[in-house]
C-alpha cells in the first residue's frame, strides 16, 4: 500500500526517531509500503518519518530503472554510520518531502554503515557514489535533519517559503 509523503515544513520531519526495539509484522508491512511508495514517487530512498512514523527505518534503491542492472531494494533498521572517509563528494540533492527543490550538498564520499535487516540479521557494508549520499540523506531524516539544513540560511528560508506556498495551494485544490 502506497502511503502519503509528508511535505516540509512539518514538525514530524524535525524530530529524532526512536530505535526499533523489536521487528514485528507491522514493521515488515511498513517496510513494504515504504518501498512501494519510494518506487512509485519515484525516489531512490525513503525514511519512516517521511510517512509520519518516528521510527529508525529507511529503504533505498539507487539502481535507476534505466540501468541494465536488477533493482536492489534495501531495508535498513537502526542504521548507523560507523566510519566516513575524509574525502568529500558534492551531489545535487533533492527530497521527496521538498518537491522540485534541488541544491548541492557536500558529504563524505564513502561511508561504512551498520544496520539490521527485517529478519533481524546484522549487516555492515561500505557505500560510495550515489549510494553513500543517499544513505547519509536517509539517516539524517531519522535525526530530524533535511538536506536544506546544510544550506545557507537565506537559501533555506527561500525554499521553506516556497514549500509553505506549495502546501497552501495544494490544500485549496
Ligand atoms: O529520491 C531522492 N533522490 C535523491 C537525490 C540526491 C540525493 C538524495 C536523494 S534522496 C531522495 C528521496 C528522499 O527524499 N529520501 O529521503
Ligand atoms: Ni529526503
Identify the pLDDT of residue 113.
98
Residue 43 CB less than 6 A away from ligand 1: yes
Q: Whose CA is nearest to atom 13 of ligand 1?
A: 95
Q: At 101, is the pLDDT very low, low, confident or very high (cuts 50, 70, 90)?
A: very high
Flag whether the pTM goes above 0.85.
Answer: yes
Residue 173 has pLDDT above 90, yes or no: no
Q: Provide mean pLDDT across the span 89-118.
A: 98
Identify the pLDDT of residue 66.
82
**Residue range 24-63, pLDDT digits in tens:** 999 999 999 999 999 999 999 999 999 999 999 999 999 9
What does the angle CA 107 – CA 112 – CA 115 come to, to the nearest 5 degrees?
A: 115
> How would you write 130-159 as a 3-class SS string?
HHHHHHHHHHHHHCCCCHHHHCCHHHHHHH
**Residue range 106-157, pLDDT digits in tens:** 999 999 999 999 999 999 999 999 999 999 999 999 999 999 999 999 999 9
Identify the pLDDT of residue 65.
75
36 is catalytic: no
Q: Provide mean pLDDT across the span 8-20.
A: 98
Domains of the chain, first to last: 11-172 (3.90.45.10)
Identify the pLDDT of residue 21.
96
Residue 91 CB less than 6 A away from ligand 1: yes
Mutate to test the pocket of ligand 1, among 37, 39, 44 (most ligand atoms within 8 A of CB): 44
Identify the residue whose cell numbers are 495551494.
Answer: 169
Q: Give the β-pairing of 57-60 and 98-108.
A: unpaired
Residue 8 CB less than 6 A away from ligand 1: no
Quote the ligand 1 centre to 137 CA distance (angstroms). 7
Q: Which ligand 1 atom sits nearest the alpha carbon of residue 105?
A: 7
Identify the pLDDT of residue 68.
84
Mutate to test the pocket of ligand 1, among 57, 90, 96 (most ligand atoms within 8 A of CB): 96
Amino acid at each position: 500500500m502506497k502511503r502519503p509523503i509528508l511535505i516540509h515544513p512539518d514538525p514530524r520531519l524535525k524530530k529524532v526517531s526512536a530505535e526499533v526495539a523489536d521487528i514485528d509484522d507491522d514493521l515488515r508491512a511498513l517496510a513494504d509500503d515504504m518501498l512501494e511508495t519510494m518506487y512509485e514517487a519515484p525516489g531512490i530512498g525513503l525514511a519512516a518519518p517521511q510517512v509520519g512514523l518516528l521510527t529508525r527505518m529507511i529503504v533505498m534503491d539507487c539502481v535507476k530503472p534505466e540501468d541494465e542492472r536488477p533493482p536492489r531494494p534495501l531495508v535498513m533498521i537502526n542504521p548507523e554510520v560507523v566510519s566516513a572517509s575524509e574525502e568529500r563528494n558534492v551531489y545535487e540533492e533533492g527530497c521527496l518531502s521538498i518537491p522540485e527543490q534541488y541544491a548541492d550538498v557536500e558529504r563524505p564520499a564513502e561511508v561504512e554503515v551498520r544496520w539490521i535487516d527485517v529478519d533481524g540479521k546484522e549487516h555492515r557494508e561500505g557505500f560510495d557514489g550515489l549510494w553513500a549520499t543517499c544513505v547519509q540523506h536517509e539517516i539524517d531524516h531519522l535525526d530530524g535533519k533535511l538536506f536544506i539544513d546544510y544550506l545557507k540560511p537565506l537559501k533555506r528560508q527561500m525554499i521553506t517559503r516556497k514549500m509553505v506556498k506549495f502546501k497552501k495551494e495544494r490544500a485549496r485544490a
